[in-house]
Structure 1
Amino acid sequence: MGRLLMLVAAVALVGMAAPAHADGMDDQFLAALQATGVTYPDPARAIAAGKWVCQAVGQGTQMVDVVRTVQDRNPGLREENAAKFAAIAATAYCPGALPHTSVNNGPQ
């Protein structure tokens, strides 16, 4: 449950971090990573990994497992940043893969 909340929080941050005048989805993805403090040594590899996130989710892999794989493949990456990376990738490349949340205001 904690990981899902962390993922949802990261998605909320991404919505605020996307640049207004990006040249393309890849540029928006890289800018969102930078804005949230997720670093990467090679932009092309970061983009490929971001697109892999959507491929994995599209094949039925749970987002928690995707985050774990991102972290395993990048040993210096903290779990929090792996979750941010996966959320940013999903927001950029496959927004339909993100869990939908709703606010329950109680009985009306």
Structure 2
Amino acid sequence: MVDFAKKFDPQPFHLDEEAAKSSIFGGLSASGWYTASLWMRRWVDEVLSDSTSQGSPGGRELSWLAPVYPGDTLTFAAEVLSARLSKSRPTLGLVEFEGTARRGDELVYRFIATGMFTARG
């Protein structure tokens, strides 16, 4: 978590426990981008690696709803919101989904994105 922050989000509350104590987080907290990268790694391992994924045109509604702290256990999920064939490329399916991360019952991360997949048949 700290190594990630050193490279990609070097703000004091992600790097230094003492500096983080005086922040609004009250202690060392993960970069939101670190949380996003953990979610993405699980998505690749559990879904994309055995799929016909063709990338993503992007997403919307990215939210970090609560800080993530060292030692937190996160649960990741994805829910399909819609699926359709591309109008311009009918062999390409577009799947809109909501990705989430929770610490227990608390939602800490949420986003909506579209994945592109080679369509079946």
Bigger strand share:
2
TM-score range, shorter chain: under 0.3
The structure whose RCO (Cα within 8 Å, separation 6+) is larger is 1
What TM-score comes out, normalization by structure 2 length?
0.23
What TM-score comes out, normalization by structure 1 length?
0.25
Bigger helix share:
1
Larger Rg over CA atoms: 2
